[in-house]
A = this chain, B = another copy of it.
């Protein structure tokens, strides 16, 4: 495909890139940076222990950042921590995250500190919190609107576009008491399972700096995975929440599209309605996914967003014994050993906890994934190209890869794709009902986080965007151990499959420590059930 690169035009944008990088750099509190001489050696891959070893954070601050929000919010409300000390703890840890992993595009430290102070003042004066999330620091993906800030969505040509209102989920969460303190990175075009762009560069995985943080909400995944935030907002149209939550070992949730609002975001591709985006949380616990969704829903987003139904958060009961359909593969790229270890581990724990585990076939996943790739770029990639053309910026490798799927469809062909979508939704739903499946458990990807720039296969997540089946991801406690995870006897069925798997198989040692999460998929509009069951399942899998 003909790119839109134009070195001459791009030259003129470089000062703009410098300007926003300076905004980012100026927003960093320098005293929270690890001194040069104390930085981990370049060959150290795993960053997870750095905060504890840095000496920058107190034990109390470490505890604060590692406490799930549903507990932390209660502790703040009891006066155990102030909003200011909570914010300070997260600012410290997030500053390290930025230094080590390049996940933040801008800190909002000044505004955040003023807000935290005012929250503390209110609490001191009234003895009351302003809402259920009083004093909880919050991070947010760059393309989701923060009033008065620029939103570039990973496009150099969008730099300078200041938005005048908050993203609606953010706005509701602010009323509930959150303190927005950091904005996070994403890829060029928002269509990589990676987070690399010409403005802020590459975001890395805290468990292994050779690996990608995933994408497109990779900044959130990396930051929350590092415990630099415990309440983050990302977006997902093909896996962009679930992929990075999975790659970075944290919790993430993609709500049913149109269940909660997506009002207030930048990006290319207006008018693509076959696959609708969702906006949802990154957290450090399953309870927090539910807390996030309930809080946003309780804020009645439908009062200002006409595109979503009036559907208050429902109370649901979790059956004592869940029937869990395990879909071990997508029928396109067979999982690698560490993924099977995670699945086997989870199944054993779940059976031990009294749940029923049955087999779930991938059905027409291949057809669905092909349909998704066609539909994302049914305009022939025009929307993306136009956005890239503004600045003439270089096309990154994974942008070229994504747009290699861009073939202009006719209106008729688009209807044919939509018809596949509609029929598949019905078929999967009916089969779940017929077989009495409460929830589907499957990998987030065929393997662990990819080497940066190499992640190409999105099917494990994207098929559920087509099906519009809401999904969470949760950590299993399993991480890649090259000693035992190098084994593989599977015979690839296609060249594509071989290429994807070989990236790992030629050097499994590079993937050391990468966490393996799993995905839980439920029925459309049953967000309550998915999250209630996620709590039970994650607890069983991670428990003794």
Contacts and interface: CB of A to CB of B under 8 A. Distances in A.
B525 A309 contact: yes
Contacts of A416: 271
Taking chain A's interface residues, is the majority helix, strand, or loop, or is none over half, making it mixed? loop
Q: How large is the interface on A (under 10, 10 to 19, 20 to 34, 35 or more residues)?
A: 35 or more
A247 to B, nearest CB: 29
Contacts of A259: 309
Contacts of A433: 304
A411 B270 CA distance: 12
A446 B209 CA distance: 67
Copies held by the complex = 2
Interface stretch (A290-298, A329-337, A417-425, A500-508): A417-425
Contacts of A421: 271
A256 to B, nearest CB: 8
Contacts of A383: 412, 415
A523 interface: yes
Interface stretch (A102-110, A114-122, A374-382): A374-382
Interface string A175-192: 000000000000000000
Contact of A411 (B311, B411, B420): B411
Q: In this complex, which of A309, A311, A409, A416 has the most chain B Cβ atoms within 10 angstroms of its Cβ? A: A309
Given A272-B415, A308-B525, 5 more contacts: A271-B414, A271-B422, A307-B426, A311-B311, A409-B410
30 contacts: A259-B309, A270-B418, A270-B419, A271-B415, A271-B416, A271-B418, A271-B420, A273-B274, A273-B422, A302-B525, A306-B426, A307-B426, A309-B309, A309-B525, A310-B311, A310-B525, A311-B311, A378-B412, A378-B415, A379-B410, A379-B415, A380-B410, A380-B411, A382-B412, A383-B415, A408-B410, A408-B411, A409-B411, A410-B411, A414-B414
